[in-house]
Amino acid sequence: MYDNLLANVPTDLWIGGKWKKASDGGRFDVIDPATEKTIASVASATVEDAIAAVDAAQAAFPAWAAKKPRERAEILRKAFEIIMRDAERFAKLITLENGKALSDSRGEVAYSAEFFRWYAEEAVRNLGSMSMAPASGARILAQHKPAGIAVLVTPWNFPAAMATRKIGPALAAGCPVVLKPASDTPLTMLALMPALEEAGVPPGVVNVIPSRSSGKVVSAMLHDPRVRVVSFTGSTEVGRKLLHEAADQILKPAMELGGNAPFLVFEDADIDAAIEGAMIAKMRNMGEACTAANRFYVHEKVHDEFAKKLSAKMASLKMGNGLDDGVAVGPLVNKEGRDKVVELVDDAVSKGAKILTGGKVPDGPGFFYPATVVTNVPDGAMMLNEEIFGPVASIQTFKTEEEAIKRANDTEYGLVAYLYTKDMSRGLRVSEKLEFGMIGLNRGLVSDPAAPFGGVKQSGLGREGAQEGMKEFLETQYISVTW
């Protein structure tokens, strides 16, 4: 199984359009979370390798920035087509190193490719402006130029999409990039490089450097004066550290950080529709997503019906190796992640919560945890304040709209919130009062390449996707001229 999937997957560093060993020869293992077996050994970049990648990006920058927008757009469009041509191979590779069910991986591949198609269209719409200064009469010319080399740091939960969501707009804007993928899932991005080369991406425009020395490698790049942008997706804790480091060189930061999404179900909601949305919001990537619904707040009048139906749906999901037919719940990405979920559930139960389904680690290899529903969760439970990052839904009740809003906003995070109600007046009213960058109103999925993705409070800075995503890689230049 492994041989077929990994036969053509490179495992070295991609720098300047060439595969290179780490400067010190270092490598690290990649583990299949379903079997706990080693599936590959990947080169581990050093600080020296990181600077070499920045050198390559700098060499490629002038020519790439000077390309006509349509030329960059055609390359991105071709990259989209190549990924979709090889979609099944990419999906199986994602499942192999990440663990998610193959159906989920197929969705991720389509989503990740769409960022290249979207930014192929946006690349030609980098529009400036001209106006007359009201007092002086001088012309005000404003244009948007590529900011420079961008360092991209991506997580393991969506190894394809979290990278293409950054690469797409950066390349559309005219910026070269150095990507440091997560150590748990480096193979997907390495496998993408031949596809980008086939699409016509010039050497040095995209560089990929997996590393077990992430802190040192990323820090070295952020302190290189040639680097002008840092885009990071990951935990708020790491994001804070990177922001501190980015301040040393006054880098332009884009930070998509943690979440603790509430899911509100009002008494007038279509319960079956709410269950369908809940399954998407909770179980996408087994709950290992910053957008995952963590805290379910259900009106007391419909709590029992919602809890019963959600438990039945969760209990019906087949758990197993994500490559097997019919599997909906694969393993979590590693032992640490699985152990954290166990800790959060055990803590809630010890404080009075009740498990309706799941809640027990199965025997055998693999970092598995079943789809779980926990009700009667007390306010002091850890899972209400921390990202669960697993297939666990915690349920509390509420009585009034004001109470629901207060509970939903009672978190340092502000990425996404979900709510279900048949009353659109209420839906929009509550949405405006929720302190989140994104709202799913009668929808369990908000992610879309054409939409501005991002949060407020401790959930980050900037936006990815839509027109806003390309702006993160552009600087505005103003020219004052009289004629």
What whole-number distance in Å separates Cα of residue 287 and Cα of residue 277? Answer: 13
Question: Can 290 be counted among the known catalytic residues?
Answer: yes
Task: Assess contact for 78 and 248: CB atoms under 8 A.
Answer: no
CA atoms within 13 A of residue 192's CA, in its CB half-sphere: 34
What whole-number distance in Å separates Cα of residue 145 and Cα of residue 201? Answer: 19
Strand partners, 418: 263, 440
Q: Are strands 261-265 and 252-256 parallel, antiparallel or unpaired?
A: unpaired
Best CA proximity match to 361, nearest among 383, 398, 331: 331
| Torsion angle of the four alpha carbons 74, 233, 47, 220, in this order, in degrees rounded to the nearest 10 | 100
Best CA proximity match to 54, nearest among 217, 212, 192, 216: 217
What whole-number distance in Å separates Cα of residue 195 and Cα of residue 214? Answer: 25
Using CB atoms within 10 Å of the CB of residue 131, give its burial: 0 to 12 exposed, 13 to 18 middle, 19+ buried. exposed
Using CB atoms within 10 Å of the CB of residue 38, give its burial: 0 to 12 exposed, 13 to 18 middle, 19+ buried. exposed
Active-site position among 290, 387, 464, 472: 290
Best CA proximity match to 292, nearest among 263, 331, 335: 263
Active-site position among 108, 114, 122, 256: 256
- The Cα-based distances of 326 to 128, 145, 368 in angstroms read 51, 48, 16
Question: Can 175 be counted among the known catalytic residues?
Answer: no
Strand partners, 457: 413
Residue at 294: amino acid letter: N
What whole-number distance in Å separates Cα of residue 162 and Cα of residue 181? Answer: 9
What whole-number distance in Å separates Cα of residue 263 and Cα of residue 61? Answer: 44
Residue by residue, DSSP assigns 258-277 as ---EEEEE-TTS-HHHHHHH
Best CA proximity match to 117, nearest among 65, 70, 76: 76
What whole-number distance in Å separates Cα of residue 279 and Cα of residue 418? Answer: 12
| Torsion angle of the four alpha carbons 208, 210, 211, 212, in this order, in degrees rounded to the nearest 10 | 160
Q: Which residues are part of the catalytic machinery? A: 256, 290
